[in-house]
Amino acid sequence: MSAASASTLRASDGGAGLPRHVAIIMDGNGRWAKARHLPRVAGHRKGAEAVRATIRAARELGIEVLTLYAFSSENWRRPEEEVSDLKGLLRHYLLGEIEELAANGVRLRVIGEYRRFGPELARLLDDAIERTVGNRAMTLVIALNYGAQDEIVRAARALAEDALAGRIDPAAIDAETLDARLDTRELPPPDLLIRTSGERRLSNFLLWQAAYAELLFVDTLWPDFGREALFAAVADYGRRERRFGGL
């Protein structure tokens, strides 16, 4: 699609229009590599290129928030060599891409217990977050060592501790109170949640936040995703009618 197509998507007044927040479960790196008789790390490297292309396309469209599921809390069960490769790719990405993110006004935010990746990666992430904190063109959220059930448990535990200490009345706890304790606090909920590779499940991703998200499952493997695929997904979203439980 051309830049004019991006303008058309933004200006559309039919259907749902342009999503403020797009969340993506990036799936299929391993299958992409296997189909080409390559090691799994080759799929992850190609997937990193898809990340770059998708971020640029999201900025072009004017999407406010892009959330990418990069490493789940269950991914630690993968072979140690693959986890090490993923950590190395994350380090390479942070060192190589932070300049472009900063120059283009992209704010980086991380959800999940990312300090488990070790002090070096945690420091790089902290530095990148701090460097881009004032940017307003788009917010890029990376989910690292993230699991939605764990996130909800941590939020519930924090509220329980405050209630026991008398800092909050249990009767006053509502959806907004819990939402304010989640990793995604102060962010709009996802309007569109995409999963690549043909799988049709949420895999413990943004379970609370995606309560009213439009879901889109595509057969494209993540390394083959990019600008055209994101534009097509946003166009699909724009044709939908969102009711939020109403008529």
Q: Is 240 annotated as a binding residue?
A: no
Strand 214-217, strand 192-195: pairing: parallel
Please confirm, yes or no, whether 85 is among the known catalytic residues: no
Among the listed residues 75, 104, 135, 204, the single catalytic one is 75
Q: Is 29 annotated as a binding residue?
A: yes
Q: Is 30 annotated as a binding residue?
A: yes
Please name the helix (run of DSSP H) or strand (run of DSSP E) that holds residue 237, with its range, or none: helix 227-238
CA dist., res. 46 & res. 48, Å (int): 5
CA dist., res. 96 & res. 233, Å (int): 28
CA dist., res. 201 & res. 195, Å (int): 8
Q: Is 72 annotated as a binding residue?
A: yes
Give rounded-to-5 percent helix, strand, coil for the chain. Answer: 50, 15, 35
Q: Is 27 annotated as a binding residue?
A: yes
Angle at 148 between CA 123 and CA 152, to 5 degrees: 100
Tokens in use for 102? Answer: 């900063």
Q: Do the Cβ atoms of 152 and 121 come closer than 8 Å?
A: no
Q: Is 107 annotated as a binding residue?
A: no
Among the listed residues 13, 27, 135, 204, the single catalytic one is 27
Q: Is 7 annotated as a binding residue?
A: no
Q: Is 78 annotated as a binding residue?
A: yes
Please confirm, yes or no, whether 27 is among the known catalytic residues: yes
Q: Is 28 annotated as a binding residue?
A: yes
Angle at 222 between CA 220 and CA 224, to 5 degrees: 65
Q: Is 84 annotated as a binding residue?
A: no
Q: Is 36 annotated as a binding residue?
A: no
- Would you please indicate which residues are annotated as catalytic (active-site) residues? 27, 75
- Annotated binding-site residue numbers for Mg(2+): 27, 214
- Annotated binding-site residue numbers: 27-32, 40, 44, 72-74, 76, 78, 195, 201-203, 214
